[in-house]
Every structure is written in C-alpha cells, then in structure tokens.
Chain A
Amino acid sequence: MAVEVAAVPKPRRRRLRHALVTPGLLGLPIGWLICFFLVPVGIVAAYSLGPSLAASPHPVTLKTWHDFLHSTTYLRLFWSSLQLSLIVSVLVVAVAYPLAYYLALSGTKRKYVLLLLLIAPFLTSYLLRVLAWKIILGNQGPIDSFLSSVGLHPLSLIYTRFAVILVLGYIWLPFVALPIFVSLESLDRGLLEAASDLYASRLQAFGRVTLPLSLPGVFAAFLFVFIPTLGEFVTPSLVGGTSSSSGYMYGNAIQDLFVHGFPDWETGSVLAIFLLGVVAVLMVVFSRFLQPRQVAAD
C-alpha cells in the first residue's frame, strides 16, 4: 500500500515535468523569433502598405507595390543580383565539394587540422577580410603592382562585379564546405564497399552512391550561401562599383532607401518584403532536396 501511495505521484510529476519541458525549451526561441523576426517583419510589411506607422491613421495603399512592380529599375536590379548570387553559390559549391570530399573521404589523419585551417578566417572580422581584399585588388595592391612592374597593364579589379564575386566566394567558402563535409563524413562506407564489390568503378560509385547521398549537404550548402548573398550589401558597397553590372546589388538599394538618402521606408519595405517572399519560395522549393531519405529513395 505504501509502495502504491508513493508510486502514484511520480507519473503525475513526470507528466507535469513533461508538460513543462516543451514550452520551457521552446518558449525562449519562439519568443525570440516572435519579437525579433515576426514583429519586425510585420512592421516592415506595414510600412510597405502605408506612408508611416508614426503618423495618424492613414489609408492602406498598394501604390508603392504598384510602382515597384511597374518599374523595371528595381526588378532588373533584383534579377541581376539573383544572377550574381547564383554564380557565387555555384562557384563556391564547385570549389568546396572537392575540398570537403578530400577532407571527409581521403582518410588523412590531419583532416581536423585541415578543417580548422579552412575555418581559420572566421577568427578574423568579416569587415577586415573584405577590407584586406580591397587593398589586394586596388590599384596599388600586389596584383596590379606586380603587373605594372613586369610591364603589363594593370587589371584594376577593384569596384567591379568580378571583385564582388571573388570576395563573396572567399567569405562564404567555409560555410559551404562544412555542410558538405558533414554530409560526406556521415556516409555509410559500407555502401561504397558494396558498390566496389558489384564491380562499380570509382567514378560510377561516386556518381551513383557518393554524390546522391551527399546532395542534401550540397543543397544545404548552396542555400547557406545563396540566401545571404542575395541580400548582401556590405561587400558590394566596399569592393563593388556603381551599377548592377559592376556589383551594386539589390541589398544596397534596400539599405540606401532606408538609411542613405531622404528616408523612403515605403519603397525600402516593398523591396525587403519582395526579397523575403522570393527567399521563402526558394526555401520551400529547395526543402524537398534537404530530405536525405527522400534523396536516397530517389
């Protein structure tokens, strides 16, 4: 009887504990998301529909949206930025994949040392790294100085689209390599052995086993670089030029509209919400590729 009495409250306490664990664990992050993501996005969305939140009640208007969708200027800039981000993402993934493959599958004992070297640039400030590139690519930097010293015409790489692609690629390379590395590292080596037992060549084993199973990591890596670079404005403002053809990006236009010129928060909000919408759609589209089981089943 005593045992029974003692045993009864335990499941209740457990249930209570279980009942509190979920909100306890999720409460803070959900609260954080609401306060610092959903509410700000809501405010920005509200600005895109009216002149000012601070002003007295005003009619909701779609004029700014109408102007945006009928003005080719910002849509062209968006398209150009999309292309630039795609180029950066594809190039970085192409460079990072062999690197991650070597680190994960070569069997080298120093793979974690090499991995540390790969992420070493993170120990330096983002701005400092970009500013270092600004000097390297500048007219008096090592590249142009060398070319001038051997009698060749300087390339004058700074303030160009190429400079933006190069620096963004450099900045995001470790972000891309890491998910691919993790994806390859967790690969079941038995599958590769099975492929070999079935007389698959190394190339066939890579094409039919390694690559498909690492695709979730590749897509995750691609998204890691594609989404942030689409809204990038720091790097283009430091090493980019004056137009979309020389590295001025959609993110720069948003920043300019909010803080640079005479505040035009309405247009800036429209641009920001449009970008958010496109990114959300892309996330949904790409999310199916992030399901390892599905990829494996395919």
Chain B
Amino acid sequence: MDVEGEPFDRRLSRREMLRLAGFAAGVTVVAGPAAACGAAAKKVSSSTKETGQLHVLDWAGYENDGGQPMFAAYVHAHPQNKPQFTYMTNEADALAKIRAGLKPDLFRPYIGWVEYFAKSGLVQPWDPSLISNFKHLNQFMVKAGQYQGKQYGIPDDWGFDAILYRSDKVTPKSQSWDLLWDDRYAGKIAWFDDIEMLEIAGLYLGFPNTWEQTDDQLNQSKQLLISKKHLAKVIWSSETTLDQAFAAGDIWIAYAWPADWVYMKAKKLDVTYMRPKELPIAWVGYFMLLKDTPRFNLAHAYVDAWSSTKSAKWLEDNYAYGHANTVARPASADTLKALLLNNPKGIVEPNAHLDRDIPRRAQYEKAWEEVKAA
C-alpha cells in the first residue's frame, strides 16, 4: 500500500463482500482475504473517527511533508489529521519530554532503547494487522522490535555510525575509530554527544562487549576520551551543528551518519565515509506507540505510510539511510554499496555491531557527563 493504499483497500473490501454474499458460506479460501479486508475496512472507519492532529515526537529532518513521500500517503488519506511534530534530539530527550507531560501519539527511538521503553510502561504494542506494509519489513528487524512476544517497535530507517572525513585533507593511518583522536588533526575533529562515544572507545580498546563494560573497562574508556578530548573541536548533538561546521571547513573528521555523507557530497566536498576495522555501529529506528493514545488507528496509518516501498526508496535515495522495507532499493550504486544492501547480514557481525540495550545506561551516562565536564 502506497500513496493510494487506503482507497484501494476500501474498493477491495466492497468487492470481496459482494463476492462473499454470492458464494456459499463454506468457501473457506475466500474467508481469509475477506476477514483481512474487513479489518482494513474497520481500520479506515476507526481512524476516521479519531480526531485531532497526530502528535509525532521525532528527530529533526523527518518532519518535512512538503511533498516528500516519507508520510505523504498518510497526509493524503487523513488531511484533517496532519501530523504535528515535536523534536527529540535523542532518546533520553524524548524520555524527559514524555515524563515532563508531553503526550505524543508515537515517537521514534532506536534499537538500543526499544527494550527500555517497552519495560517502562510508557508505550503499548502495535497491532501489525493494521499495517498493510508490515509484510514487506525485514523480519530480523521486526523480531528485534519485539518484547515478550509483542510488537512494541515497528522498524523503519536504519544505518551506520561511522567516520566521515575530508579525503583531500586527511590521510588515515589505518581504517580505525582512532581517527577520531588522531593528534595530527587536532582541532578538526567532531565527536558525537552521546554515550555511544564510550561504546566506540570500548571497541577501540578491544573490550569483548562494549555495551556491558565493567566498572574498570568503563573507567578506561572514560579516561581515554578525557585524555583525547582536547583534540575534538566540536561535540555535536544537533546534526545541523555538524553539517554547518563540516561544510564550513571547521571540521575535517567526524562521527557521522550516512545522511551527512550524502549532504557533504552534495556540497561538492571530497569526502569518504569510512568503515572502521573495529566495525561501525549499526542502528535501526523503531516507531513506538504511546500508551493511551487517543489516535491509535491514525498512528498505525502513519506508520503504514512510512513503511511503504515508495517512502523507503525516497529515504534511501535522499538520506542514504536503509529502510526496513526489503522491496525498496536505492537508485545509486554508491548508496547500495555503502549500506551493504546486497548483504542480508549487513547490520550484524561480521559487518557491523548492531546497537543494543545497555543494562547499565545510568553509569554510562554518568561517565559520559564526566568526560564532557572534564
């Protein structure tokens, strides 16, 4: 189901219902699709009963409905319930906003936080039967969005955390995360403002499980970052900050996402998106549904629009992010190669470390705050 998805479902429903009236009740082959169509019809009628704008808490950049197919199908089908956006800078920010009283209908944390939010009692599971594009989604990612057998997260975008550098200015000693603290480029490096820097330090230091570092390991990671922090000119939390600094030449090396690589190439900068030998960190974004949302069906319709092949392809072509929709393929061979889209195991070892839940997140956060304050 793409842009015209719901009207199509409605037509199908009527036809099937007429057929059902004409055929004998015992034709069980028809009964299945008819039930599905009944559900679709119920979905349409339920979502049209829901009122008000859909409140989405999302990352900046995913809110533009200026004709891009990201969620255009939803806007087309529900013009009276257009999404209203609030921005989150990271999952902790989203958590703080929700705890402070913000009531979004849905939001988008990444894979390392799915279990945390599922346990938090703030969210409820989705009903995949209300998402017609659900069948196209990567089954591995779908399974990773489950908690206690329920579908708490609907996978959407995915990509890698790796190093972006100016090929005309930088010559890495090796393909390693240590480029983020290479003395030769002091003052030209950007780190990311997140505990992921401790995970990266752990990978560099060779810890067996960087997401579950012991106190001693965490201290080693912290000390490494503190000792190298003077080399970093920026610790970015907003992608805009990174993009501006990189495009202006203030920064030559950065922890970055694929979209930054695309952006810098569009700026005609000679850039490389490096896969470190310690492996990049892969991430998957999940839509999560807030408990007690008054727009349950509209939220499903919105996620269905995001899950469509058309949206997925647009995301791959324009942001160089992968999409959980396995049917979509980017137009660019470069993007295809960078995202390892030909490799079904592109986001897991031995190609990348898939980000995951951090049981001792509070300790990691404390260590990271100390790195910044040091």
Residues of A within 8 A of B (CB): 54, 71, 73-74, 76-77, 138-140, 156, 158-159, 241-246, 248, 252-253, 256-264, 267
Contacts and interface: CB of A to CB of B under 8 A. Distances in A.
B222 to A, nearest CB: 10
B195 to A, nearest CB: 7
Contacts of A242: 191, 229-230, 232-235, 372
B112 to A, nearest CB: 11
Please give me the 7 A-B residue pairs with the lowest Cβ-Cβ distance, nearest first.
A262-B365, A261-B365, A139-B249, A139-B250, A253-B373, A262-B92, A140-B248
Contact of A159 (B93, B233, B237, B362): B233
A263 B374 CA distance: 19
Nearest to B236: A242
B96 interface: yes
B233 A241 contact: yes
Interface in B73-109: 89-90, 92-93, 95-96, 99
Given A243-B229, A262-B195, 18 more contacts: A73-B370, A76-B374, A138-B250, A139-B248, A156-B187, A159-B233, A159-B234, A159-B245, A241-B234, A242-B235, A243-B230, A243-B374, A244-B373, A252-B372, A260-B92, A262-B92, A262-B361, A263-B99
A261 B371 CA distance: 12
B250 A156 contact: yes
Given A159-B233, A242-B191, A258 B96 contact: yes
Interface residues of B, number: 34
A73 B373 contact: yes
Interface in B331-370: 361-362, 364-366, 368-370
Given A242-B191, A242-B233, A253 B372 contact: yes
Interface of B: 89-90, 92-93, 95-96, 99, 187, 191, 193-195, 229-230, 232-235, 237, 245, 248-250, 361-362, 364-366, 368-370, 372-374
Nearest to A77: B373
B372 A263 contact: no
Instruction: Indicate the member of A159, A264, A267 with the most B CB atoms within 10 Å.
Output: A159
A261 B191 contact: no
A261 to B, nearest CB: 4
6 contacts: A139-B249, A140-B248, A248-B373, A260-B193, A262-B195, A263-B92
Contacts of A257: 369
Nearest to B364: A262
A139 B372 CA distance: 24
B369 A264 contact: yes
B215 to A, nearest CB: 15
A263 B96 contact: yes
B373 A261 contact: no
